[in-house]
Amino acid sequence: MPVLTKINLTPSRVDQFRFKVGGPKQQFLWDSQVPGLGLEAVVSGRRSWVLSYRIVGKKKRITLGSFPAIDLDVAREEAKDLLKSLRNGVDPAALKKVPEKAQTVKSLHDRYISGRYFRSRSPDFQANFKSTMRRYVLPDIGDQLLESVQRAQIKSIIDDLVEAGKEGMAQGTLTHLRILFAYGVDEGFIEYAPTERVKVKRTTSGRRTQWFDNEDDLKAIWNLAAPIQVRSIVRWCLLTGCRRDEARMSPWSSISDGRWIVSETKNRRALVLPVTEPMALVLKECKETYPKSEWMFPATTGWKKPIPRGSLDYIIREASKGKWSLHVLRHTTETWLADLGVPEEHRNLVLNHWTGRMSERYRHGFQIETKKAVLESWHAKLMEMVA
């Protein structure tokens, strides 16, 4: 058994842990918070959560699952549950026995979405995963035994989406399939994932280079002929440069003390922006239109839930005749800020970009005054163009 040199694990430390060439065949990062919990890295690049413990005088180690399919918080919770069973006299290994292998893709899917890890993911991830599987995967291979699924079948599903002009959906479907089959490997249903070495063959560079640099385009975007919550979210994204889902999933409770606060972000760092006058006008119109909704931008079919991603994308695609998406507005805001002479460091503060520089690691607080000055400069220019 390895020497347990323990440290306080963090999401960043865990993410950076990699197998070091020239070191032992098995390398570990042990947690100081949960006894026996560690992250193992092997020469293939695979990283897995393990739990080391002693029972009846014997040392044992079991695998909990792979990283990043299981993150630090979920691994800790599962390890705590297993250690609790150990204190009650139950060997954790008995609780992690490999189940029967006669599983279909559909049964693995059902097992995965009923598990703790899946339920710990965001509602948005859960909805997207289920939708992807229902539309593109289960109709083709849902009834097939896991061990009989071939790489060529996975490739066919992905290639068909690319041929239909849905490269983004192809990448999303492949990502979800990798998650599902990695879970099957971790749970012992299959020996290898048929998604290995499958790639999306892109017909474009995949890089977004579009942005809007003239008044006519910006006026058309600002006054988009769409339902009020869609037009409002378009304006909000243009004003703030935020990501689509940061706005779409925002409840009214995210507005507090003149600030917009988003805790769940792509880089796991809270986005905190001051609410300027143009932003307040957008909020005022939404609140007056949907006074009972807890969401800033409610669904078009009812105010009790946020507008679904698919509905939002579809409405914008139809209204803009497919010329742009919300992410183009993020590019537009970033580029205009640069043209206005805003330093990159200040642009990153507003757009919540994280570069990993030392200055960012040592910077604390939210720099509200700096963000306010940047936004007011951009909003003055934008209002001048769309007035």
3-state helix, strand, coil in the chain (%, to 5): 50, 15, 35
pLDDT of residue 2: 45
Query: Which ranges in the chain are annotated with CATH 1.10.443.10?
Result: 215-386
Query: Which ranges in the chain are annotated with CATH 3.30.160.390?
Result: 6-95
How high does pLDDT run on average in the chain?
87
Task: Report the range of poorest mean pLDDT among 75-89, 172-186, 207-221.
Answer: 207-221
Superfamily of domain 6-95: Integrase, DNA-binding domain (3.30.160.390)
How far CA 14 is from CA of 11, 38, 158, 180, 266, in Å, comes to 5, 10, 31, 22, 17
pLDDT value at 99 more than 70: no
The pTM of this model reads: 0.57
pLDDT value at 297 more than 70: yes
Query: Which ranges in the chain are annotated with CATH 1.10.150?
Result: 105-186
178 vs 159: CA distance, rounded Å: 16
pLDDT value at 96 more than 70: no
The CATH class, in words, for 105-186 is mainly alpha
pLDDT band at 189 (very low <50, low <70, confident <90, very high): confident
Q: Are 11 and 72 in contact (CB under 8 A)?
A: yes
Return the DSSP state at 387.
-
pLDDT of residue 1: 43
CATH code given to domain 215-386: 1.10.443.10
